[in-house]
């Protein structure tokens, strides 16, 4: 009895430490417990597998299995479910399938959660056909799907651009013996809105109103965000007012969504009024809220206020993220203060942030606009990762400086290596070559663009 109680207490202690990300201390507790004669069980090791999967990585979590076997403890379905969940978190479908097959070879029978997690991994990786095959395998093994299974499929179909198929599955849920829940409605409304099927989304919203479930803050915010994305701002603001009337604006998320929309419309006064109202209502700000506010002030050119908010974040015990500093770098570049932007990018690196692609793109654009093309090229050449905007900004910068031959060489490299650049960048290089009389290069570039476009059709 004492040993059983001690193991249970050990598991509670380890779970608490793992939840607080204090894995070294949790390992220390395990060592001390074994030294004192308290024997860990499968729950103990499963706690470590889950924690390492979440906070470290799948390989670190998998190494726990060797320790389990050395201790004479056999992994169970929970062990492998945690590992598959870890592979899913890092979007590793091949690894998640390997773990699933290893579980079968070890004669551990998968449960409904094994299949749900595996399906989610393949949907997340943009492979809906394989996810559906996993579902068919689940049914063939006489493992009964649950509502979470169908919610996973509906979410996966929506995320992979198959919202109409998700709608059809929703229509068949009752025939399958399940009634939709609020998560089902919210997921489907979000997917339909993002795919532009607003009519179907409104129909689902009406059906939700007639169900036993009431629309919640997530429902309203989802529809509001989709209205803003599609340019239907008045409808979005009307939904926000309805949210307020029903008491659903108790957190900062809805307010920040509206503030962002107002900032995009250039209605900075209204955005500031909304900020003041949020503060008056005593709504606590998280890092997403602060990022939204910093973005608004940067767009207004109020960089001093934006940096004051950064100080407020750090003094208030919150941690700024990469997006926070990227907004500030972009704001400094747009104000023409590229020296300050460069210093802030260097400050980001001293704070342990990885070299931000977006922040570097902003800096390259700002340097090119300021006529410092050579400096922009230096940063460009030192960047480990580049995207379409990196190359397009550099091409525009070279063209603005009338350095068309280097621009020609760069765009030809892009075309050879399959790197996409904006059409406006292609036009800028072609027009520049033509204006300077570089006919041979112009023809060569036109031919390369034509060949690539032909191969896509």
Residue 7: inside a domain, yes or no? Answer: no
Using the 8-state DSSP alphabet, how is residue 145 labeled?
Answer: P
Q: Give domain status of residue 302, yes or no.
A: no
Answer whether residue 226 is part of any domain: yes
Identify which has the larger pLDDT, 209 or 325.
Answer: 325
For 172, the domain range is 146-249
Q: How many CB atoms are closer than 10 A to CB 7?
A: 17
Low-confidence winner among 284-288, 429-433, 441-445 (lowest mean pLDDT): 284-288
Q: What is the CATH number of the domain that holds 171?
A: 1.25.40.10
Counted domains in the chain: 2
Question: Nearest-5° angle of CA 112, CA 168, CA 232?
Answer: 115
Map 203-245 to HEC letters. Answer: HHHHHHHHCCCCCCHHHHHHHHHHHHHCCCHHHHHHHHHHHHH
Identify the band that residue 457 occupies on the pLDDT scale cut at 50, 70 and 90: low
% residues pLDDT > 70 (the chain): 97
Distance CA 100, CA 114 (A): 8
Task: Indicate the residue among 219, 249, 279 that finishes a domain.
Answer: 249
402 closest CA partner among 424, 371, 440, 448 = 371
Strands (E) in 31-135, as ranges, are: none
CA dist., res. 331 & res. 297, Å (int) = 9
Residue 189 included in any domain: yes
Residue 29 belongs to some domain of the structure: no
The CA-atom distances, in angstroms, between 323 and each of 131, 289, 305, 346 are 33, 12, 17, 15
Q: What pLDDT score was predicted for residue 2?
A: 44
The answer on pLDDT for 1 being more than 70 is no
Structural domain contains residue 317: no
Distance from C-alpha of 447 to C-alpha of 305, rounded to nearest angstrom:
51
Q: Which of residues 209, 227, 249 is at a domain's end?
A: 249
**Residue 319 domain-assigned (yes or no):** no
Q: Choose one of 211, 226, 249: the last residue of a domain.
A: 249
Mean pLDDT of 12-30: 93
How high does pLDDT run on average in the chain? 88
- pTM of the prediction? 0.62
**Residue 352 domain flag:** no
């Amino acid at each position: 009895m004492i040993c059983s109680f001690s193991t249970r207490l050990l598991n509670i202690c380890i779970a608490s430490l793992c939840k607080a990300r204090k894995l070294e201390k949790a390992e220390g507790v395990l060592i001390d417990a074994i030294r004192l004669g308290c024997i860990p069980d499968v729950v103990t090791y499963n706690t470590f597998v889950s924690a390492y999967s979440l906070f470290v990585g799948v390989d670190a979590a998998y190494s726990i299995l060797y320790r389990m076997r050395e201790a004479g403890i056999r992994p169970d379905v929970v062990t492998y479910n945690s590992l598959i969940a870890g592979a899913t978190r890092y979007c590793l479908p091949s690894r998640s399938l390997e773990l699933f097959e290893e579980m079968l070879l070890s004669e551990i029978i998968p449960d409904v959660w094994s299949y749900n997690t595996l399906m989610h991994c393949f949907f997340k990786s943009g492979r809906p056909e394989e996810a559906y095959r996993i579902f068919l395998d689940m049914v063939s093994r006489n493992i009964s799907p649950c509502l979470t299974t169908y919610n996973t499929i509906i979410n996966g179909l929506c995320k992979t651009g198959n919202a109409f198929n998700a709608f059809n599955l929703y229509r068949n849920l009752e025939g399958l013996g399940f009634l939709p829940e609020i998560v089902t409605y919210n997921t489907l409304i979000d997917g339909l809105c993002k795919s532009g099927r607003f009519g179907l989304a409104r129909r689902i919203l009406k059906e939700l109103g007639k169900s036993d479930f009431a629309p919640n803050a997530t429902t309203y915010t989802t529809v509001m965000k989709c209205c803003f994305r599609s340019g239907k701002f008045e409808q979005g603001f009307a939904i926000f007012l309805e949210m307020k009337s029903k008491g659903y604006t108790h957190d900062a998320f809805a307010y920040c969504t509206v503030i962002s929309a107002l900032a995009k419309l250039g209605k900075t006064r209204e955005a500031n009024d909304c900020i003041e109202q949020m503060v008056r209502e005593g709504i606590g700000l998280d890092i997403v809220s602060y990022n939204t506010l910093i973005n608004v002030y940067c767009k207004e050119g109020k960089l001093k206020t934006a940096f004051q908010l950064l100080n407020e974040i750090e003094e208030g015990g919150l941690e700024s993220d990469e997006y926070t500093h990227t907004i500030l770098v972009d704001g400094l570049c747009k104000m023409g203060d590229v020296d300050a932007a460069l210093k802030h990018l260097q400050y980001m690196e001293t704070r342990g942030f990885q070299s931000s692609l977006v922040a570097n793109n902003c800096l390259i654009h700002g340097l090119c606009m300021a006529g410092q093309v050579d400096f922009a090229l230096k940063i460009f050449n030192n960047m480990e990762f580049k995207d379409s905007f990196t190359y397009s900004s550099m091409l525009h910068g070279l063209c603005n400086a009338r350095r068309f031959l280097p621009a020609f060489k760069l765009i030809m490299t892009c075309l050879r290596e399959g790197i996409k650049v904006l059409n406006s960048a292609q036009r800028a290089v072609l027009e520049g070559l033509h204006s300077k009389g570089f006919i041979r290069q112009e023809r060569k570039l036109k031919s390369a663009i034509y060949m690539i476009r032909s191969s896509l059709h």
